[in-house]
Amino acid sequence: MEGKIRGIVVPLLTPLSSPETIDEEAARRLIDHVIAGGVHAIFILGSTGEGPALSGREQRRFIRCCAEAVGGRVPLLAGISGCSAAESARLGRFAADAGADAVVSAVPCYLPPDAEEQVAFYRYLAKEVPLPLFAYNMPSLTRVSMTLSTVERILEIPGVAGCKDSSGDLEAFRELVNRFGGRPGISLLSGPDELTAETVAMGGDGGVNGGANLRPRLFSGLYEAAARGDAAAVGPLQARVVELGKIYGDPVTAPGVIRALKREAARMGLLRNILAVPALPEAL
């Protein structure tokens, strides 16, 4: 992977044929759908992709399937988060062999690491995995809070290519942009769909937006308008993003987002309304 990741990175849903088995045909269909809609990169096996809920065998099958289906049309980022640093490294090496362009990992969370251990974890992965590495700050799920100073230290590690920040802390994100935004090898990506335009306007590189599974053209258009500073175009597109977000319910939770996205994607004929065990789908 050369240069920065910029634009809309879709955290791809993982199509399933059963609660334990991926659906390769639907995965190829979904990948074609989001690429046709103008997304700039694809992120698999993240939170939206139910990555940690899948078996190691199915994770590997999905990485290989997606690498073949993407075929170099856009960068492919593979999620390798888990409870074991060694297992994450092994999955990262598999992703490299399968043709992924980068890997993304949150910190191990069952035994939550302190700040020094968080930095040590990313040093370990950067050394063990022969791909650019993105740190993933997702405190609502990991229950691990990565402070601004810790993220800054992680971004200084050779081999770390950026951060996917889903904390929703705009002031911390602004500080990261002020310090690292001009570096050619560091991408700063925000998580919540509704914050993409704002974070791009402040100098961020793009958004990791679950809604792009359903409406990729909406999100790619929003990014392009925000990147060129076209406030008149951003306004109505942002309103549509906020309206789409109502499918997630209130309060918004990660399981609720996955259920809503899979329900709507099933209605569109993109995949089956099946979630990884033990999660249960919403009725169509």
Do 168 and 140 meet the contact criterion of CB atoms below 8 Å apart? no
Strand, helix or coil at 207? strand
Ligand-binding site membership of 144 (annotated): no
Catalytic residues: 136, 164
* Residue 77 and residue 47 in contact, taking contact as beta carbons nearer than 8 Å: no
- In the chain, alpha helices (H): 24-36, 56-70, 85-98, 115-128, 139-142, 148-155, 170-180, 196-201, 216-227, 231-244, 254-267
208 is in an annotated binding site: yes
Pick the closest to residue 135 from 149, 124, 115, 151 (CA basis): 151
- CA dist list (Å): 39 to 10, 36, 117, 179, 253: 7, 8, 34, 27, 24
Residue 234 makes CB contacts below 8 A (sequence gap 6+) with: 197, 222, 225, 226
Rounded CA-CA distance 85/93 in Å is 12
Cα–Cα dist 202/103, whole Å:
25
**Residues 6+ away with beta carbon under 8 Å from 250:** none
Residue 189 DSSP class: E
Indicate the annotated binding residues.
Answer: 48, 208
Indicate the annotated binding residues for pyruvate.
Answer: 48, 208
